[in-house]
Amino acid sequence: MAAIARSVVAVARPHCPAQTPRSTRPSTLCRALRSARVLRSRRFPSAAGRQGQWPKRLVPARAATAEAPTAEVLESWTHDLGEGAVSVEAVHLGSDVVVSIDSSLPGEWRLHWAVNGWELPPQSCWPAGTNQMDDKAVQTPLSGGFKLRFNADSAPQRMVFVVTNGEKWLNKGSTDFSVNIAPPSLKSTVDAIIADEQSSCLFKRYQMALGLTGEMAMVGDEGIALLFTWLRYSANKQLRWYHKEAYNYQGKDMASTQKCLAEAFQNMAQTGKTSMSRMLARMTLAGLPRGGGNGDDIRMTILHILRDNGIKEGHRPGIEDTFLKQWHQKLHSNTTPEDISICEAYLHFLHTGNWDDFWAHLWDNNKLTREDLAQMKSGWRNDDGITGPACHLPQLIEPMKHMLWILKVTHSGADLDSAFTMAHGYLDNDAAWNIGDMLKNRNEWWVPGKIVEIRESLQWNWKAEGSGRDVMLLDIALENYFRTVVERTDCRQMSRDDIVCQVEMVLRNGVIASEDEGIGKALALWQKLMGEGDRWSPRWSLQAKAALEVAGGALGGLMDRVVSLVEPHALALGKGIEDIDSSYVTNFAEEVVRGHPLGILSSLLTELQMHVAEAAGLSKWQVISAASPPAGKVLVANLADIQGQKFDEPTVVISDVLGGLEDVPEGVVAVVSSSVTDILSHIAIRARGQGVLLASCRDSGEIESMRGMQGGYAEVRISQDGGVSMAKAEAAGRVSGGGGRGKQMRLK
Looking at the domain assignment, is residue 102 inside a domain?
yes
Q: How far is CA 673 from CA 614, 693, 712, in A?
A: 19, 11, 18
Pair 209, 128 in one domain? no
List the one residue out of 337, 219, 267, 331 whose CA is nearest residue 42.
267
Looking at the domain assignment, is residue 567 inside a domain?
no
List the one residue out of 490, 506, 513, 515 whose CA is nearest residue 551.
506
Pair 178, 193 in one domain? no
Pair 112, 168 in one domain? yes
What does the pLDDT read at residue 532? 87
Whole-angstrom distance, CA of residue 200 vs CA of residue 247: 9
Pair 712, 628 in one domain? yes
Looking at the domain assignment, is residue 649 inside a domain?
yes
Amino acid at 593: V
Q: Determine contact, residues 141/129, Cβ cutoff 8 Å.
A: yes
Pair 635, 735 in one domain? yes
- Sign of the dihedral through C-alpha 56, 59, 65, 70: negative
Pair 97, 142 in one domain? yes
Pair 166, 236 in one domain? no
Question: Which of 389, 411, 433 is the last residue in one of the domains?
Answer: 411
What does the pLDDT read at residue 6? 32
What is the CATH classification number for the domain harbouring 172?
2.60.40
What does the pLDDT read at residue 643? 93
Query: 85 by DSSP, 3-state: which?
Result: strand
Pair 99, 212 in one domain? no
Please state whether beta strands 693-697 and 666-673 pair in parallel, antiparallel, or not at all (unpaired): parallel
Pair 623, 730 in one domain? yes
3-state secondary structure 88-133: EEEEEECCEEEEEEEECCCCCCEEEEEECCCECCCHHHCCCCCEEC
List the one residue out of 57, 15, 53 whose CA is nearest residue 32.
57
Q: Nearest 5°: CA angle at 162, between 160 and 168? A: 170
Number of domains in the chain: 4
Looking at the domain assignment, is residue 609 inside a domain?
no
Q: Determine contact, residues 58/10, Cβ cutoff 8 Å.
A: yes
Pair 385, 366 in one domain? yes
pLDDT tens digits, one per residue of 175-201: 788 888 887 789 989 999 999 998 889
Looking at the domain assignment, is residue 393 inside a domain?
yes
pLDDT tens digits, one per residue of 433-464: 999 999 999 999 999 999 999 999 999 999 98
Its domain, for residue 210, covers 186-285
Pair 703, 624 in one domain? yes
Q: Write out the DSSP string of 699-734.
A: -HHHHHHHHTTTTSEEEEEE-TTS-EEEEEEEEEEE
- The DSSP secondary-structure symbol of 45 reads P
pLDDT tens digits, one per residue of 473-530: 999 999 999 999 999 888 888 899 999 999 999 999 999 999 999 999 999 999 999 9
Pair 303, 402 in one domain? yes
For the chain, give the number of residues.
748
Question: Which of 158, 182, 206 is the last residue in one of the domains?
Answer: 182
Residue 475 CB partners (closer than 8 Å, separation 6+): 455, 458, 459, 462, 512, 513
Looking at the domain assignment, is residue 74 inside a domain?
no
304-307 contact pairs (CB < 8 A, 24+): 305/396, 305/399, 305/400, 305/403
Question: Which of 161, 182, 203 is the last residue in one of the domains?
Answer: 182
What does the pLDDT read at residue 183? 78
Whole-angstrom distance, CA of residue 393 vs CA of residue 389: 12
What does the pLDDT read at residue 252? 87
What is the CATH classification number for the domain harbouring 630?
3.50.30
Query: What's the pTM?
Result: 0.78
Amino acid at 447: V
What does the pLDDT read at residue 379? 55
Looking at the domain assignment, is residue 100 inside a domain?
yes
State how far Cα 636 lies from the chain centre: 41
Segments of the chain with pLDDT less than 70: 1-69, 244-247, 378-383, 731-748
Looking at the domain assignment, is residue 138 inside a domain?
yes
What does the pLDDT read at residue 39? 26
